[in-house]
Structure 1
Amino acid sequence: MFLELLAFSPFLLLPLLFFILRLFGNSKTNGNSKLPKSYPIIGSFLALYKNYANRLLWFTELLQDSPTSTITMHHSLGRHFVVTANPTVVQHILKTKFHIYQKGESFRTTLHDLFGDGLFNADGDNWKFQRQLSSHEFNTKSLRKFVEEVVDTELYNRLIPILSTSSSQRTVLDFQDILQRFAFDNICRIGFGYDPEYLLPSLPQAKFAVAFDDAVQISEERFNSMRPVWKIKRALGIGSESRLHRAVSDVREFAKTIVREKKRELDEKKTLESHDLLSRFLNSGHSEENFVTDIVITFILAGKDTTSAALTWFFWLISNHPNVESRILKEINEKTESEAGYDEAKDMVYTQAALCESMRLYPPVPRDVKEAVDDDVLPDGTKVKKGMTVVYHIYAMGRMEQIWGKDWAEFRPERWLEHDMATENWRFVAKDSFSYPVFQAGPRICLGKEMAFLQMKRVVGEVLKRFKVVPEKRENGKEPDMLTYLTVKMKGGFPVTVVERD
């Protein structure tokens, strides 16, 4: 206990520091009246700490109040960072000056215990190699196989029966948990040729899944702590760092089991009969266990948490917009009459527009972090020094009037559609990826974008065709609180009742 108090001693002094340093605060705001004061040594850490639980909305307000949609803040110990919701700046850091803005040593160190050198945490040649090899998994043939052999099997054999049972028994389901289980089974089957059977009627508790969520949460919290503090705690093996060590051990053991089983399978076959992502890496000559384990963990994050988060907020939004649900149902019924599976999902234009609109307001990954490896000046005039962190705030960008107009707060899928006079049909019109970087942009744009949309549209189509998803009423009709870590989840889950349609 004494050692943990020692590690936290800076926090115990914060109230005293606050009163002592008030007189010395820097009130310069660069035209932004809402920016917090910066104090000697601790910078704006007091304000950052105070607003931690509500940080997405807080930064959104700061960026909306900034004339350039960009702010610079002093974290602590001389560390400054930039946050932007400006599409021109986003294009600059993700494309024009891509070579300058990398994951960086600070980011990699913070997440290395969990993700190691996997694609999510990689730069340079390591990143290029992993991305090139992974890209083979996202061609048209693989996508069709993903829908027809993986997603549809999981839908018809597991998800739909569970929802039918819940409907007939009138039970309350945590739909967020159900969707996470569904996505977890899918990514393991398509990525590793392994079925974890997480979405079974018994809804089994998986040690790995609990450990993975804990590890992601604690790793993310490191970003909002003073770096010396979490490093001291890790060295001493105390507090949250002790919990992280146990969680990461469980996660890596699970991933290594998958890798070892796949190696044994490939050794027995002697040929590359299995075309999943893991087999490609193991047969590329890069089969060192820790490296491949990093890749497995990275793809579990990408496949499990992002699509399930997007679908959770989507079902909540359409439950509050019956007109949108009606239009989606109309499209589902029209497509079901003429197409099936992969082709049906691919051509669901209005549903894709509704999904994009949902992710505009609730992006699965709310912000992304880069580190400058050289001095630079952003297009809006903001100066960036070597080693500084630059954050593009995806959540805030979905709420900027400059990008979406005065009706930015409205859930309106029609903003993604254009009427084709020649065919009398609606045509989907994508926003440029620098104004809507939900799937990143530039050279690091998400490889799994098309796969994610196909999976989500199949879920939406098959679930809504059969059921009405009715959220449980929240206190005072409040909007669900957000749990913000590497992805945005609903705090307390998403309790729903499922009503079978006539």
Structure 2
Amino acid sequence: MFQLEVLLPYILLLIFPVVLFFLTKPTNKNISIPKSYPLIGSYLSYRNNLHRRIQWLSDIIQISPSATFQLDGALGKRQIITGNPSTVQHILKNQFSNYQKGTSFTTTLSDFLGTGIFNTDGQNWKFQRQVASHEFNTKSIRNFVEHIVDTELTSRLIPILYLSTQTNQILDFQDILQRFTFDNICKIAFGFDPEYLTPSTNRTRFALAYEDAMEISCKRFRLPLPIIWKIKRYFNIGSEKRLKEAVTEVREFAKNIVREKKRELEETSSLQTEDMLSRFLSSGHSEEEFVTDMVISFILAGKDTTSGALTWFFWLLWKNPRVEEEIVKEVSKKSESLVYDEVKEMVYTHAALSESMRLYPPVPMDTKEAVKDDVLPDGRFVKKGTIVTYHVYAMGRMKSLWGDDWAEFRPERWLERDVVNGKWVFVGRDLYSYPVFQAGPRVCLGKEMAFMQMKRIVAGIVGKFKVVPEGNKDEHPGFISFLTSQMEGGFPVTIQKKFP
């Protein structure tokens, strides 16, 4: 039996090109639910659209009854993909206990994320969430905005942007934002300043290793059978060899943060720091591997999601100067160094960020695994072990949820005028129709902190600078995702001063 499992992936790989030649023709024009064939399921169609996977799946959801369809994998593997708010509520809230991360997901990412909060279920998840929740109270967010973000903005980011206006240097703004948010998450969560945002464009070994680890880990999901990457890992060859090297670099970086924090705590008679890492280490769960997993997961949460959202936001601002003008007007009414309450009152900017993430969500898809048999609200049967994916990117493009003008970047769809004073009032949407921050028991703890950080960054930039994309300005950048979304190839820009 084991020999068959070992040989079968290679047999399939040998016949795929032949079958591909006769059965599939690449096309972006005719959208249909992919056909399923014996043994290989719909893998040929999936493989044929890997270069546009997110958009392809989104297109299929738009034409599917109840915005839900089944994608068959090799050897009977099933995945249900949905954009139906009722189904999203069903799996994220009503039947939360039945839809977990599951062994398929956690095993695939275990080398990179271990048992960190985004790769675990049950009591381990509950404990990490409980300890982390203290990081997101009003006092912590106020300190984060007024001290950590403000310092990073005024002492590091703004000087870099000013310098680039004088030299006409092309910056990868996506990389700049990743560096900014990386410094911030390390300072607020771990009490550690990596000082990654510098005028130098040289990338650290950790940053390169981190990206490799995330990309290779995610590409495991795209293989027809997990046995393929497991064999490569066993023999330490190809991408799995690179993954092992990258993960070693990432984990050593995270372990050094943990060890330094332990040393600091041992040298103090009482807990003087209020960061999340100190609380974890003081909770009795100080095992190095466990805490290291936690550190890596929170770097992922704080660095990549926020920077990804801001990358697309600044691209959309350039495409929509009317919206940029409205944000500039709002910012001009605030003080130079915005305090917490002023940032919180940036209603139009909040709406613009919400609208940007509707179109380009930081996490475009999320998956759960059914613990036992179930029936979805539309009557679809879900067998135990089936993967159920809710497609956030697709949901932001559904006419049924956003109207005929869904493709328009229009922050006003999130706003209403106060009948008394005429000011804008933000009107949020149902979390199950807009699950950008998840929903239910696993809803993102850092939602408010993320919004406050993004609004403070926007306020610090739009009044002084214009971010201008380089290259072919009429070409839409590629939207890709490895756990979190990115702009393919980076976001090369020049920075222009608005006022001399």
In structure 2, stretches of 5+ residues that fail to align are 1-5, 25-29
Match of 2:60 in 1: 62
Contact 2:360 2:393 in 1 (8 A): yes
Under a length normalisation based on structure 1, what TM-score does the superposition of the two structures give? 0.95
Per-residue Cα deviation, 1:255-300 (whole angstroms, up to 9, x for no partner): 0000000000100013110110100000000000000000000000
Paired position in structure 2 for 1:480:
477
* Alpha-carbon offset, residue 484 of structure 1: 1.8
Equivalent residue, structure 1, for 2:271: 272
Asked if 1:249 is matched to 2:251, the reply is no
Please report the TM-score for the alignment, with normalisation by the length of structure 2: 0.95
Give the deviation of 1:345 after TM superposition: 1.1
Q: Helix, strand or coil for the counterpart of 1:13? A: helix
Aligned residue in 2 for 1:318: 317
Asked if the contact 2:365–2:389 (Cα under 8 Å) also holds between the matched residues in 1, the reply is: yes
Query: What is the aligned partner in structure 1 of residue 285 from structure 2?
Result: 286
Cα distance, 1:5 vs structure 2? 12
Q: Which runs of structure 2 are paired with 1:195-234 in the superposition (5 Å)?
A: 195-225=193-223, 226-234=225-233
Could you list the per-position Cα deviations for residues 191-234 of structure 1 after superposition, in whole angstroms to 9, with x for gaps in the alignment? Answer: 10111110012244211111011111011111111211111111
Q: Which amino acid aligns with 2:137?
A: N
How far is 1:18 from its partner?
4.1
C-alpha change, 1:5 and 1:312, in structure 2 (3 Å) is farther
Distance in 2, Cα, partners of 1:390 & 1:415 = 30
Give 3-state SS (helix, strand or coil) of 1:190's partner: helix
The alpha carbon displacement at 1:473 in A equals 3.4
Partner SS, residue 154 of structure 2: helix
Deviations 1:42-72 (A, max 9, x none): 1001111111110111011100001210001
- What is the aligned residue count? 488
Q: How does 1:27-426 map to 2 (within 5 A)?
A: 34-225=32-223, 226-336=225-335, 340-426=338-424
Give distance in 1, aligned partners of 2:299 and 2:42: 35
Give the conservation status (yes or no) of the 8 Å contact 2:146–2:338: no
- How many percent identity over aligned positions? 60
> Residue deviations 1:304-360, cap 9 Å, x none?
1000000000000010100000000000011238x8221221110000000000000
CA RMSD after TM alignment: 1.7
Q: Distance in 1 between matches of 2:141 and 2:481?
A: 30
* Letter in structure 2 aligned against 1:485: F
The change in CA–CA distance for 1:462 and 1:355 in structure 2 (over 3 A counts) is same
Cα gap change, 1:169 to 1:90, in 2 (>3 Å): same
Whole-angstrom CA distance in 1 between matches of 2:31 and 2:156: 53
8 Å CA contact 2:33–2:64 kept in 1: the answer is no
- What are the residue-to-residue correspondences of 1:420-499 with 2, within 5 Å? 420-474=418-472, 477-499=474-496
Supply the distance in 2 between the matched residues of 1:263 and 1:464 (Cα, whole angstroms): 40
CA distance in 2: counterparts of 1:108 and 1:43, whole angstroms: 23
SS of equivalent residue, structure 1 residue 468: strand
In 1, the alpha carbon distance for the partners of 2:186 and 2:253 equals 12
For 1:26, the equivalent position in structure 2 comes to none
Residue 9 (structure 1) shift: 5.5
C-alpha distance in structure 2 between counterparts of 1:40 and 1:429, whole Å: 49
Task: Work out whether residues 185 and 197 of structure 1, in 8 Å CA contact, stay in contact via their aligned partners in 2.
Answer: yes
Cα distance in 2 for residues equivalent to 1:45 and 1:256: 39
Q: Does 1:15 align with 2:14?
A: no
Partner amino acid, structure 2, of 1:52: L
CA contact (8 A) 1:152 1:341 kept: no
Gapped regions of structure 1 (runs ≥ 5): 24-31
Cα 1:257–1:6 change in 2 (3 A) is farther
CA contact 1:148–1:341 (8 Å) conserved in 2: yes
* CA deviation after TM superposition for structure 1 residue 156, in Å: 0.4
Shift of 1:236: 1.1
**3-state SS of paired residue (2:352):** helix
- Retained in 1: the 8 A contact 2:369–2:388? yes
Distance (whole Å) between structure 1 residues aligned to residue 51 and residue 81 of structure 2: 18
Question: Could you tell me how far apart the structure 1 residues matched to 2:431 and 2:55 are?
Answer: 22
Residues 429-455 of structure 1: CA distance to partner in whole angstroms, max 9, x if unpaired?
Answer: 000110000000000000000000000
Residue 101 of structure 1 contacts residue 373 of structure 1 at CA under 8 Å; is this kept in 2? yes
Output the CA distance in 1 between the equivalents of 2:298 and 2:343.
Answer: 23
Distance 1:12 1:305 in 2: 37
Q: Which amino acid aligns with 2:293?
A: D
Deviation at 1:155, TM superposition (A): 0.3
- Once the two structures are TM-superposed, the CA of residue 90 in structure 1 deviates from its matched residue by 0.2
| Letter paired with 1:452 | A
1:27 maps to what in 2?
A: none
Residue by residue over 1:462-492, the C-alpha shift from the partner in whole angstroms, topping out at 9 and shown as x without a partner, is 01111111111317x1100122211111111
